[in-house]
A and B are shown apart, each in its own frame.
Chain A
Amino acid sequence: MLENYFPVLLFIGIALVMGVVPLVLGMLVGPHRPDEKKLSPYECGFEAFEDARMKFDVRFYLVAILFILFDLEIAFLFPWAIVLKEIGTFGFVSMMIFLAILVVGFVYEWMKGALEWE
């Protein structure tokens, strides 16, 4: 069972190497002539006038929170979906009730305007 996953682990390891090797090679082969202007952050030729670690729109944060809610819901649906034929009508009805509750939440956040971008 677990030894089935050994090739997967090995693949991840090799994929990491495939990422690191070109980077190292590029550093060795490419020139290295840094100067102050070249290493400053790119702002269309202007001097950078402020730190980039600035405030940003709270909506991005809201999207992340909503994402976690829905992603958890999908995580619940996965095992249910696989055995639906075995658990029959009882399993089907229970999940429909769960989904109905979730839809209420989804409608609420829609009406509240959490999904608006203007």
Chain B
Amino acid sequence: MMEAQALQLVESLLSFLGLWELLRGFIEPAWHVVWTVLKIFAIILPIMGGVAYYTLAERKVLGFMQVRPGPNRVGYWGLLQPVADGLKLLCKEIIIPTNSNKFLFLAAPVLALTPALAAWAVIPFDDGMILADVNAGLLYLLAMTSLGVYGIIIAGWASNSKYAFLGALRSAAQIVSYELAMGFALVCVLLAAQSMNMGDIVRGQQSEYGLFGWYWIPLFPMLVVYFIAGVAETNRAPFDMAEGESEIVAGFHVEYSGMGFALFFLAEYANMILIAALSSVMFLGGWLNPFQGWPVLGELTAWVPGLVWMLGKMSIFLFLFLWLRATFPRYRYDQLMRLGWKVFIPLTLVWVVVVATWMQTPWWLW
């Protein structure tokens, strides 16, 4: 709908300038591509902005939790801090170590960032507000989030530095371990939704009971496992021994400077926001109104657009990331592997069986 209207707008603008007849042959065939590119930028640019201000929010929240003001010098209340950080990183020298594998060394940060951004193609922000409404949406997401590990392991190997190498090994083993628990949690969501289409997963949670119709109730242990696995996947505290600055000084990206480092940073934060979006879509009903169908609150909040609910639910998870970082000390590596293999995998396996059995009975209400 909007696409056709936008084309008409362009047409009237150009015919006003007397250019439409001249350019028509070029514009009409290419219009679909141009429109898709515009939509892609309408997703990527807010994510980039979100990442920039999420770093500021992180420093502010950590600051307040430790009773200090956080960054407050650049701009009012530190609001220009992310811009200043970006400019500084842009103007720093990109160091390429002599012993490194130069091509892979430069390709690794790009490989880390690309899947973190590309995964957003199938995230629904509101009913119908989705770039590619594909049937294999969840499968595509699983593929994209799994690709992120290549950026890390290639970075560690190509740097040819001991710290980077150890960090990459730790990180890769950690990410693949937690991906299993994540995969089993996704199987539970698929069981409940009976679809891999992201929009259908949200619509499957729609009911007159509002937030009690969402999957977080029957799949509550999976929500917890999925979010914790997400924290481990993105190498965030308390699972950040891939970086472990006190022992392997930042791990896989120790040799990176300037923009190379910035890309890893962007990828990590884009992945965090992605995990928050996915948790909201799969367990907290995405764009759905939590009070839908409720007597008074439901009518009072009916005007709120779905995008607002979606962003609100994402903020809950994003704040949780920061809260975890401020609260917990770093895990030990053997504790991390024990949690992944001996707690999460058995728990998720059992829950797959529980949900499948539950669905065979008439007591499955979702």
Residues of A within 8 A of B (CB): 4-8, 10-12, 14-16, 18-20, 22-23, 25-27, 29-34, 36, 38-44, 48, 50-54, 56-57, 59-60, 63-64, 66-67, 70-71, 74, 77-78, 81-85, 89, 92, 95-96, 99, 103, 106, 110, 115-118
Q: Is B205 among interface residues, defined by CB-CB distance under 8 A? A: no
| Majority secondary structure, A binding face | helix
- Identify which of residues 122-149 in chain B touch chain A, using a CB-to-CB cut-off of 8 Å: 122, 131-135, 139-140
CB-based contact A70/B345 at 8 Å? yes
Given A33-B93, A103-B349, CB of A26 within 8 Å of CB of B259:
yes
Q: Would you give 25 A-B contacts (Cβ < 8 Å), ordered by A?
A: A6-B132, A8-B122, A11-B118, A12-B121, A22-B262, A25-B90, A26-B259, A27-B259, A34-B95, A39-B98, A41-B255, A48-B161, A52-B99, A52-B161, A52-B164, A52-B165, A54-B165, A56-B166, A70-B180, A70-B183, A71-B176, A81-B191, A84-B194, A84-B356, A117-B337
B93 cross-chain contacts in A, Cβ below 8 A: 30-33
A73 and B152 alpha carbons, distance in the complex (Å): 25
B120 cross-chain contacts in A, Cβ below 8 A: 11
* B interface size (C-beta, 8 A): 87
Given A30-B92, A39-B96, A70-B345, CB of A18 within 8 Å of CB of B106:
no
Q: Is B254 among interface residues, defined by CB-CB distance under 8 A? A: yes
Given A6-B36, A30-B94, A96-B353, CB of A85 within 8 Å of CB of B194:
yes
- Identify which of residues 61-116 in chain B touch chain A, using a CB-to-CB cut-off of 8 Å: 89-99, 106, 109-111, 113-115
CB-based contact B259/A40 at 8 Å? no
Q: Is B334 among interface residues, defined by CB-CB distance under 8 A? A: yes
A26 cross-chain contacts in B, Cβ below 8 A: 89-90, 92, 94, 258-260, 262
- State the 7 A-B residue pairs at the shortest beta-carbon distance, nearest first: A26-B259, A19-B110, A117-B334, A41-B161, A74-B183, A15-B117, A81-B190
